[in-house]
Amino acid sequence: MVLQQLPPSVALPATDASISVANVSKTYRILRQEEKDSYAAEALLKRLKGKKKHAEEFEALHDVSFEVGWGEVVGIIGRNGAGKSTLLKIINRITAPTTGRIELGGRVGSLLEVGTGFHPELTGRENVYLNGTLLGMRRKEIDQRFDAIVDFAGTERFLDTQVKRYSTGMYIRLAFAVAAHLDSEILVVDEVLAVGDSDFQSKCLRKMREVARDGRTVIVVSHQLQTVSDLCSSAIYLSAGHLMIHGTVEEVLEEYKRSFARQAPMMKEATRRPGTGEIRFREVGMTSDITKPGQDVEVQFSVAANPGFGSRYHVSCLINNEDGMVIAQCDSRVVDFWLDPSTDNDARLQVRTPWLKPGAYTVDLSVHAGGHATDIWEQALHFQVLPVTPYPHPTTPDGTDHGVVYPDFDYSQS
């Protein structure tokens, strides 16, 4: 699909930096679980007795400083809980830093988690105009971009439907189209694009490159290291709220990969891993950590019981290649596999396809219950695929070089 040529955007400010972050920290106060009141009467009695509630402080960001120039596409990477989303919310002025200062050289268009940015009771059409108005645009300016937004999102049939009735995919398509096409000098995108199909993701990547060529700034958070490598001109690595490195994509990705090797032994201790902690993995393993293309990959795991938890839970597994690209996601919900928290559970995952190409792979495992992750064990396992071909008739390397997996296929004459 050929995108419509948009009218020239507003003149960009003449400052050197589009975003300047200086010594920014963000601290949250978290009430201890035992201090929470179940009823209003309990809270009133404690107040009358003069009892004070004790809160713990959690530092989501610590003394973060960097600058981003105009026309840059900056990737922000880091593990779960690194502070990526907090930083985006500060840039987007959803929340204020506890200390430090942030200066923006223009207006920010953003696509953060699903549910932000649109009013659920308004239609898709009304939300497009609402977003444009919030950016300070006149109706005539929004009119000029309206057809391009709708064409990009592919939601023309549902424009006059309330967005609360949209599927997640429809919502994301329209939200990204609005953020990318309206007159904002800075575009901020969280990894919500992961919910879109591959064709739409490709459209988004092309659009973000186009935005950067126009001299605007793009900030993108992604767990897909291949996306960061393909799209970004520089990158930032955050870890536990600290900025570890800000530099070229190659430098940042190398440091990020090395960090996994350093922290892998610590991740075996459950309390060091991200997640709310009610249900945790006890052990993980593989039938074999050396395999061949076309052979099954079998992951074994055990999960500790929590009889008082109540609701059932599911598990998810990601298989990543050496470049950090997620090759496969195996979520137990899609095969209707659930586990009971009242007892210890031993289970296994058998992955029959795709045929993995030779190389090194890692496995991320997570437990999910009640709409949140209770345990996230990144790079819990490593395995190697030997350099042999699964095909009956080997050929020159150019016959199998392309792609990230070996497809199981046949040709036939009709």
Q: CATH number for the domain including 282?
A: 2.70.50.60
* Residue whose C-alpha is closest to residue 286's, from 355, 371, 379, 208: 379
pLDDT at 178: 84
What is the Cα–Cα distance from 338 to 258, expressed in whole angstroms?
34
Same domain, 226 and 356: no
Cβ within 8 Å of residue 283, ≥6 positions away: 301, 302
pTM recorded for the entire structure? 0.70
Domain-ending residue, one of 225, 257, 289: 257
Same domain, 204 and 319: no
pLDDT at 3: 31
pLDDT at 11: 45
Q: Is residue 390 part of a domain?
A: no
Neighbours of 54 (CB within 10 A): 9
Cβ within 8 Å of residue 46, ≥6 positions away: 37, 53
pLDDT at 12: 43
Same domain, 113 and 248: yes
What's the number of domains the chain is made of?
2
Neighbours of 252 (CB within 10 A): 25
Q: What are the b/e assignments for 177-196, b being 16+ CB within 10 Å? A: bbbbbbbbbbbbbbbbbeeb
Task: Compute CA distances 49 → 44, 46, 238, whole Å.
Answer: 9, 5, 44
Domain that holds residue 309: 272-385
Same domain, 308 and 208: no
Residue-by-residue pLDDT tens, the chain, 414 positions = 333 333 334 344 445 789 999 999 999 887 654 455 556 666 677 677 666 666 678 889 999 999 999 999 999 998 877 899 899 999 988 889 999 999 998 888 877 765 566 888 999 999 899 888 877 778 888 899 899 989 988 888 899 999 889 887 888 888 888 888 877 889 888 875 655 566 777 788 888 888 888 888 999 988 778 788 888 999 999 998 999 999 999 999 989 888 877 877 888 888 888 888 999 999 999 999 999 998 999 999 999 999 988 889 999 999 998 877 888 999 999 999 999 999 999 999 999 988 999 999 999 999 999 888 999 999 899 999 998 888 888 788 888 888 889 988 889 898
